[in-house]
Structure 1
């Protein structure tokens, strides 16, 4: 579904990982001249970022959804998009999440998304693709690791697509490189994820220039905190399938 959403508009940022690319800037600065440069960048800079931030965020979103914790869902969503302070980026991130929601509603009309949309509105979050992707896969009963692997695979694919657009290497090298780098990223994630952390650790974000409101959003009044502590009704996460299906 992430691939479908991006095919509709390839310019949209996907989840959090595009803020780590900077491929165009690297290319202009002369720091991206070959596929070998790309591999070094992905291994040295990008893998650590996407595993510690996006991968752990998705794990924590699963826990927050299971616990019906709307405030936590919004908090993690904010952590994903506040790494890039550009108002244009935030606007595009909001649009990308909305695009994926619209697509998924068309593909799975029996799933309920009101809770997610209400949560994002209540806490002034935007719904990055990572957040929406996680919510959808949770409703579909997808395993956490499968959800993370799908997100990573899409991230690698579009990172390499962007690099090929800039570098214009032989086309036949693209798919083998995507497969190889995806495998490497999943191996990196497996190593990072053992032993499995019980919950998302906020200290992982300290090196990513988090905003002060991450710990306590300024717009969150005492009454809204009380409302946030009230669990969702898990019975409305799904709508009944039509009898004809």
Structure 2
């Protein structure tokens, strides 16, 4: 199958209008709406610039870069570590069950689109290390398996994130249909520009991983990697 067709199919997989739902998102839009701080799509653009864009670039974008390396190296422990730290950044404990279910549904959809990919390997990793399977993790694994470029993968993820935000906000605000696409276009352009500015040689995946690991190492969900056995530590 032509790669362009595969990418188109994957874009359909990420479509938030699909009734199967796909995955859980938590952008804080409902709370903004209840507090009167989200009254129109222009409010969403302001919120995105001040809160979401930094989150998408410094967290999600760098996580995907790190996941790409981990998947390519078949480092299951590091894949699970990044996945669990991403989940911990955004989800409270009561959302664990919903997030896990959403990841399973996303994997089920992906299997239907790409039956030739070896999903057993990813699922075994998630089970072995009791990881959730966040959207960034599954998205990265699929794109590595399809042979797609990491920057192409990040751009697709960020563009999808913008669409999700606008769709979620639209459900709360019910704006005129013709307002949505221009907002999506502006927010996408701003987000990709922000990523380009953030994605410098100084912001390498190794530094990102060290920072996350330093903040989360004492967390109960962080298991030691296989190569850090008790014998290894004594040596």
Question: Taking structure 1 as the reference length, what is the TM-score of the superposition?
Answer: 0.80
The answer (yes or no) to whether the contact 2:22–2:106 under 8 Å persists in 1 is no
The answer (yes or no) to whether the contact 2:77–2:129 under 8 Å persists in 1 is yes
Alignment of 1:156-195 (within 5 A): 156-195=162-201
The answer (yes or no) to whether the contact 1:31–1:37 under 8 Å persists in 2 is yes
- 1:43 and 2:49 matched: yes
Quote the offset at 1:84 in angstroms: 3.3
Runs (5+) with no aligned partner, structure 2: 1-9, 230-235
Quote the offset at 1:85 in angstroms: 4.3
The answer (yes or no) to whether the contact 1:23–1:32 under 8 Å persists in 2 is yes
Quote the offset at 1:94 in angstroms: 1.3
Tell me which moved more, 104-113 or 80-89. 80-89
Residue matched to 1:236:
none
Alignment of 1:11-90 (within 5 A): 12-13=23-24, 18-19=25-26, 21-90=27-96
Quote the offset at 1:96 in angstroms: 1.8
Partner SS for 1:82:
helix
- 1:97 and 2:103 matched: yes
Residue matched to 1:235:
none
User: Following the alignment from structure 1 to structure 2, what is the Cα–Cα distance between the partners of residues 126 and 2?
Assistant: 22
**Pairwise CA RMSD of aligned residues?**
2.6
User: Following the alignment from structure 2 to structure 1, what is the Cα–Cα distance between the partners of residues 152 and 76?
Assistant: 23
User: Following the alignment from structure 1 to structure 2, what is the Cα–Cα distance between the partners of residues 47 and 24?
Assistant: 18
Structure 1 residues 76 and 101, CA gap change in structure 2 (3 angstroms): same
- 1:4 and 2:13 matched: yes
1:155-204: per-residue Cα shift (whole Å, max 9, x none)? 10010111122122221010111111111100000000023633241365
Structure 1 stretches of at least 4 aligned residues deviating more than 6 Å after TM superposition: none
Residue matched to 1:141:
147
Quote the offset at 1:206 in angstroms: 8.5
Question: Taking structure 2 as the reference length, what is the TM-score of the superposition?
Answer: 0.83
Quote the offset at 1:154 in angstroms: 0.9
1:79-121: per-residue Cα shift (whole Å, max 9, x none)? 1101234233222221222112111111111111121111111
Residue matched to 1:234:
none
The answer (yes or no) to whether the contact 2:23–2:135 under 8 Å persists in 1 is no
- 1:116 and 2:122 matched: yes
Quote the offset at 1:11 in angstroms: 7.7
The answer (yes or no) to whether the contact 1:2–1:100 under 8 Å persists in 2 is no
